[in-house]
Amino acid sequence: MNIQLSHPLNSTTQTVSFKALPPLSLYIHIPWCVRKCPYCDFNSHEVRESLPEQEYVAALVRDLELALPQIWGRKVYTVFIGGGTPSLLSAQAMDKILTSVRMLLPLDHGAEITLEANPGTVEASKFAGFRDAGINRLSLGIQSFNDTHLKALGRIHDASEARRAVEIAQHHFDNINLDLMYGLPQQTQAEALQDVHAALEFAPQHLSCYNLTLEPNTLFHRYPPALPDDDLCSAMQQDIEQILSKHGYQHYETSAFAQPKKQSRHNLNYWQFGDYLGIGAGAHSKLSFPDKVLRQVRYKQPQAYLKQVTQDLPVQSEESVKREDLPFEFMMNALRLNQGFADTLFAERTSLSLLLIRRELEEAEQRGLLERDLQRIAPTALGRRFLNDLLQVFLRK
């Protein structure tokens, strides 16, 4: 049923109607790590004994096979292998995963295939094998080049290992992201900028700079460390943005900086409200169909996930996104992009007309949080700084 714009947005009698489906990405979750970091709220679990590599790889392949009817015939443009610490897997396991992906899916010839990796010595020794398996983009969780701060963050590598890992990575990959964090326990502004300058010595294609936040269900949330105050964190952020801009990096998303044409294509698909199939323990999916948008979550605990896959039931929960929730969900992603989005993208990715959120757009514009013309809608500098306030405008009560 086509949308009738004269109906209210929250009408329960309406559905969505897509003329074309969004681009599709694949996310593969590896849930294990050597040690759980005190700030981490991702679905990661410490390896207590041996990692069940073969069993888990087989489960991933079966999970993908079971999902095929929902994405049949759709090309996959990016693959992201995240965790946890995916680099704990062997190169042989990675090769089997990606070989299965190529056999089961119409993977785009130029697909971006990213692997998250730990800078630890053991993982770095596998980089050549990961490249041979088909990985063409590496994301290194550096976080800091300062030993004191790495220890405070519970990282298992030190600064020298971090530098060595980047050097090894650059020998095998020509597209690398380095993750950095600022606003760390007792970190000074000078120390935060030292980390950025240390990263720039390697001239990585991409940098992700995150402000440490205390997330629920983490050790840091239960036992908060002494963190820099908001004003100092804001000063760190401004100086980081200025430094990276001077070095030719485009600040294209809240925490992402890239050399020209080196933006993360996988993450851009998230932020532009594209589709993604997530396989693996705790993985999330967002899949569009001609008449609905579906969200899925796999079983979170690795052992539960492995058991459920043997029963061909890896999906723990599934629900259709309500039509009235689509504008907020779109804005929650797209307004993270500093340059905003083409006004036509809203209709393409939600099947709704911008007229349905005309009042919200006007309110955000009047408050100085949003700017728009006949082609593009984007957050202002104020809107980027107070992104939660901007998003609140589109959250329907």
User: In order of start, what are the domains of the chain with their CATH numbers?
Assistant: 24-270 (3.20.20.70), 324-397 (1.10.10.920)
Interacting residues of 28 by C-beta distance below 8 A, sequence separation 6+: 60, 79, 80, 81, 82, 86, 97, 278, 279, 280, 283
Q: What is the pTM of this model?
A: 0.94
Mean pLDDT of the chain: 93
User: Which phi-psi region, left, alpha or beta, contains residue 344 (left: φ > 0; alpha: ψ -120 to 50)?
Assistant: alpha
**Pure H helices in 157-229:** 159-172, 189-200, 219-222
pLDDT digits (tens, 9 = 90+) for 85-119: 999 999 999 999 999 999 999 999 999 999 999 99
**Percentage of the chain lying above the pLDDT 70 cut:** 96
CA-closest candidate to residue 61, choices 103, 31, 33, 90 = 103
pLDDT digits (tens, 9 = 90+) for 59-72: 999 999 999 999 99
What per-residue confidence (pLDDT) applies to 122? 74
Q: How many residues make up the chain in this entry?
A: 397
Interacting residues of 151 by C-beta distance below 8 A, sequence separation 6+: none
Task: Tell me the C-alpha distance between 275 and 253, whole Å.
Answer: 19
What per-residue confidence (pLDDT) applies to 89? 95
pLDDT digits (tens, 9 = 90+) for 295-328: 999 999 999 999 999 999 999 999 999 999 999 9
What per-residue confidence (pLDDT) applies to 4? 33
Pairing label, strands 206-211, 256-258? antiparallel
State yes or no: pLDDT of 11 exceeds 50.
Answer: no
